[in-house]
Amino acid sequence: MFFNSWPMLGKTVVVGVLCYGGLLVLLRWFGNRSLSKWNAFDWAISVAIGSTLANCLLSKDVSLLQGLVAFAVLLGMQFTVTWLSMRFPFIARIAKSKPVLLLRDGRVLHDAMHRERVVENEIYSALRSAGLAKVEDAAAVVLETDGSFTVVKELGERGGTSTLQDVRGFE
């Protein structure tokens, strides 16, 4: 059907505006972490929020208040998991993956690439984006928890705290 009724269109507009406003308020209330780069957990929450918003807008059976409560529950769960992850390392290990080393000292680590389902062309692209013309000029390429690649140009001298200390495959 192309058109149901004017009242249904009006409901969609009013509920859409109110849901959007409520979602913005909730996102601000739960903090910037709700909007940060995504790991798998954040992505799942974002998809669930999108689905909830669609249900609020298009379903006759979902009230505005139910939609707002669903947003609050999803964002509350995200907040709770990240809060617990900061305090309990085992929760962080369950909720979030670790970054993975894919290249070290100019050598591609094929086993790690296969485990993470990364192809060499993606590593080359990351190296080019970092301004490197040769693979051998890279000290490391890391697959981050949000799916992005980080290129480390130099490992530096021994001593101090390495930024690669939490990367799987870097010892």
In-domain check, residue 170: no
**pLDDT tens-digit map of 39-53:** 777 788 888 999 999
Say whether both 86 and 17 belong to one domain. Answer: yes
Q: Residue 30 is encoded by which pair of tokens?
A: 């739960």
Q: Is a pLDDT exceeding 80 seen at residue 159?
A: no
Residue tagged 């200390």 (tokens): 165
- Find the helix or strand (DSSP H, E) in which 142 lies: strand 140-143
CATH number (domain holding residue 111): 3.30.240.20
What's the CA gap between 84 and 115, in Å, rounded?
Answer: 28
**Two structure tokens written together for 24:** 């913005």
Q: How many domains does the chain have?
A: 2
Q: pLDDT band at 141, cuts 50/70/90? A: very high
Q: Which of 45, 63, 94 is the last residue of a domain?
A: 94
Specify the pLDDT at position 33: 56
158 lies in a domain?
A: no
Q: pLDDT for 80-122, tens place per residue?
A: 988 999 999 998 888 888 899 999 999 999 999 999 999 999 9
Residues in the chain: 171
Q: Do 60 and 121 reside in the same domain of the chain?
A: no
Nearest to 127 by CA among 150, 155, 143, 100: 150
Which structural domain range is residue 88 located in?
A: 6-94
pTM to 2 decimal places: 0.70
